[in-house]
Structure 1
Amino acid sequence: MLYAIGTKVRLRFTGERGTITGILEDGMLMVRLENDPDFEIPTFEEDLSRDEAAEPVSAGAKFIMGKPEPKQEAPPARRIQSQYKILKPKGLQLAFEPMPGRDGTVSRYKVWLLNDTQEEFLMEFDLYTNSRDILVVDDKILANTALELGDFLSDDLNDAPEAFLRVRRITTAGLDEPLEHTLRIKPKQFFNSLLTAPILNVLAYQYVMLDSFTPQSTSSTEDLREYAKQQPRKRVAPVQNARPYKAFDPEALANFDPEIDLHIQHLINGYARLDKGEILRIQLQHAQRFVEKAARLGAPRVFLIHGVGEGKLKDALAAQLKDNPYVAKFKNEYHHKYGYGATEVIF
């Protein structure tokens, strides 16, 4: 390939554009980056490609003869097959193997599809961003095999990349119904997924794409729906006096704190000698008195803070609230202040 001072080039691994400003020894060239004109970097000739979209070099430019670049077909995708049966397979997984450069920084990843099961599949894979298709692969993946899909640049993480996988399991009876999954790759989740990849035995960023390959039957679901339609619904008799109290003291209601922390250290002193059963009984007593006071004052709702531990206190509270005639409903849903650690009681 011919290079000259003034030639417009691209860096193969980062996609950055630049201009050759000098010819160095040992097959290296000095390149001024287009996005930072004050910054020049030495680059190996094989790490560059001519920027075909740029303007041609002027006739007075000084050319040098580079290494010829033979035109050949892309090599077949690598397949690495494990000689051992994996005892706890995870299914079809997408793995991004970091490929450090000469300076140790990672600007690209080798993309693999891992199949640690005993099944074989026909697969369609597409990796794309908002602006371009990165990889499109149609192939067959064997059991206990890692299939190389191609390269993924780290810069593409900032362009909302998505991966689509569609497979059909190969069985003795033919091909199963297709299964598919779309993965949205977010940078924060990406860098938190570094694990040792099965079959490859290298560190890679991994995602499970499909972990179940048995076609789902809808007959049982339809039978249950039909059964439910045929069963008469029971009418529940209204609970006597099931109405909220009216506020008799507006000032007391205004000063009422609509939440109670039921962690034992916030309720009593000297709890270290109590066993779990005694602690639970005290927590339920405080919760009941608090709910009754709130209903008596006419509070519209309160929050019982129980935390997100083993769930025993939450379940005991639910059983207690279910039988309280002054409680219209209660729920344990995500709350911006308490997360899942509180039950909301509505009167």
Structure 2
Amino acid sequence: MQINIGDKVRFLSETGGGVVTRILDAKTVMILNDEDEFEIPSLKSDLVVIESSQTGNTAQTKTSNTTTSSSPSPSKQSLFVEKEEVYAAFVPKESSVASEGPLELYLINDTNQILLYNYYNEKGQRTEGVTAGNLDPKSKILLAEYELKDLNELSSCHFQILYYQQGISSIKNPLTRTIKIQAVKFYKSSSYKDTAYFHQDAILYKLTGGSDLEQKLDELSDKDFKQAIREKKTSGKVKVAEKSNNSNDQLIEVDLHINALIDSVTGLSNADILEYQMNKFHDTLRQYQYEKGKKIVFIHGIGNGTLKQRVLSELKRKYRKFYQQDASFKEYGWGATMVTIR
């Protein structure tokens, strides 16, 4: 039986009850006894929930200092999948259409251990603590809710996780993972896939496993990193993604988000980043300038609008003979411009 912090419970084998204050392990919780106001441990199997913390105004409020006012109340749900993995998932809010409505971010504990977690947002150069808590084995919890427009300002999601299991068990290393956010992905219906954890399609990120490549890149000195960028600039033609459409032409898709162009922004100023993005833009147009009818979609996102405005300004100033328009809203939202070579 799923029992959460803040649930009001009654004992099955004796009279009385109380409020759940702590989760000790997968089988045991700590109860604040109604009669003498002492905390006592109790097996979950010896309890019945009479008022859930998700519907009643109980001790859940005592833990509100671990969350921000903008984050939803934690909502834990049991799972029946066994993969011994930890995931994060962006899921369309109930009754919402994928790629159009608000999204819910869940942490999924598909292991046999309790997770002690911290979750942070990164917006630009600012990191914000959003929520923290514990998650029972084989369960999931709602961490935050986002409007699609909010994801244009979100650059990364950070997770810090500790494993705990009472009794004889192997000790797992703490888990620290970062998900880089590419806002355009959430506007594409093709990004949402069927999973074993939700009734609707979701965007699933595996937090366990993987490599420490990103951390190693971040540890490079500014000199080494800027040298790597210079080598990328002189390495040859711009790399772009081509995808077929209904016409005879190929649609060229160029993602100008900086995390799609280089591996890390360590040591770069905002001006350096913008210059690199615009160099990619110009290189692409020069590469295809003689292929009349070629269509190129530049994904610039919304953000604070700086990159988008620079792209539009350069099109009007240097490439007036090319035709430009907003790219498909269904595919890219407001975050892309399509250029047709003339």
TM bucket by the smaller chain?
0.3 to 0.5
State TM-score, norm by structure 1: 0.34
Larger Rg computed on CA atoms: 1
For CA contacts below 8 A with separation 6 or more, give which structure has more relative contact order.
Answer: 2
